[in-house]
Copies of this chain bind each other. A is one copy, B any other.
Amino acid sequence: MATMHDVARLAQVSVSTVSYVLTGTRPISPATRAKVRAAMTELDYQPNAMARGLASRRSRILGLLLPMDERGLGATETAFVTGAAAAASAVGYHLVLSPVGGGGDLADLRRLASQRMFDGVVLMEVKLADERVAALQEAGVPLVLIGRTGDTAGLSYVDIDFGQTVREAVAHLVGLGHRRIVYVNHSAQTLTRGYGPALRTRDAFVTAMTGHGLEPVMIPAEDSAAGGRAALAAALARAPGLTAVLAMNETAIFGILGELTARGLSVPDDVSVVSMVTSPQVAELATPALTAMTSPGSAMGRIAIEALVRHLDGAGDERHQQLLPCALEIRGSTAVPRSRPPTGG
């Protein structure tokens, strides 16, 4: 393994000159630069990442802090992660996947932050009141959130525009002529835990429905096919004449579809279904393919990383706060409702 010393000797310059060629922090004459470059090539020189990190106090490593509970990541979260990894790699940073146990072990987080291994950090699955944010800020680690806390003052974040998403989804259904629309959200527990997307979509749904002069009915569902089935049963009980279901729960949606079929209700003829914040791949899995609000997917991870890097690589202290829309993609699961409500037939 060649070191900078070897390159310097071969090129007959000093070590610092080699460093300046590498980093460009001081002007170097073309002739010298060429000599150094040649030596590097000849020796197949690669700078040692650790040494560089120690001396420059910049590791060029970014942390992606993601909660790692039992059921892994959904398609949408996976897209964030891969998008972030690709973006980091594109700008010459490494991305460390750091599973921070959901069970708020702040101490671990503090330790991690103090090791100075990460130049900056992207925090996923942020709750409305998230103590991790404060812990990271105290440790002085540049931070970008995917999602956002209740009070976003002084924070950088990228999040989905849930207001827009729900509004468009509801508008689509109402435009088709639906009046009795049920919203299947995440579980009740998730709501009480203060999970932003669940709360924000709930509020947006109420606003959107009342805006159309309709009654908002929300049913919570566990994140599983069984949860979806149960939720649909509950929905039919609460709103017997329902003609459309709006779902936020990428996992439960398949249970919902299954239960509809099991009850002899056809999609979209009897009941229209819109899946929100969903990846096209998942939407295509269903039969019929789901009309969905397509999540920004990997773009979100990319934007978060780019904002973080911009913040690190200089610029001012300006915060990056951005909401990304979900795009309505109409597939086969929505249609004009039957004149007679399904339970009346």
Binding site for B on A (CB under 8 A): 1, 44, 46-51, 53-54, 59, 61, 64, 68, 71-73, 75, 78-79, 81-82, 85-86, 89, 94-99, 111, 114-117, 224-226, 251, 254, 257-258, 261-262, 281, 284-287, 289, 298
Contacts and interface: CB of A to CB of B under 8 A. Distances in A.
Contacts of A251: 281, 285
Given A54-B51, A116-B1, A285 B82 contact: no
Contact of A72 (B50, B82, B97, B257): B82
A114 B43 CA distance: 12
Given A53-B54, A61-B96, A97-B97, 16 more contacts: A44-B114, A48-B54, A48-B115, A49-B59, A50-B53, A50-B59, A68-B85, A71-B281, A81-B81, A82-B99, A85-B97, A86-B99, A89-B98, A95-B98, A224-B284, A225-B289
Nearest to A56: B50
Given A258-B287, A284-B224, A286-B254, A50 B116 contact: yes
Contacts of A48: 54, 115-116
Nearest to A298: B72
Give me the 4 closest cross-chain CB pairs, A-B, nearest first. Answer: A258-B287, A46-B114, A50-B53, A49-B117
A171 to B, nearest CB: 27
Q: Which of A49, A54, A61 has the most CB of B within 10 A?
A: A49
Nearest to A73: B78
A257 B116 CA distance: 50
A94 B108 CA distance: 13
A287 B226 CA distance: 11
B72 A79 contact: yes
Nearest to A77: B78
Contact of A287 (B75, B81, B254): B254
Nearest to A61: B96
B287 A285 contact: no
Contacts of A286: 254, 258
A218 to B, nearest CB: 23
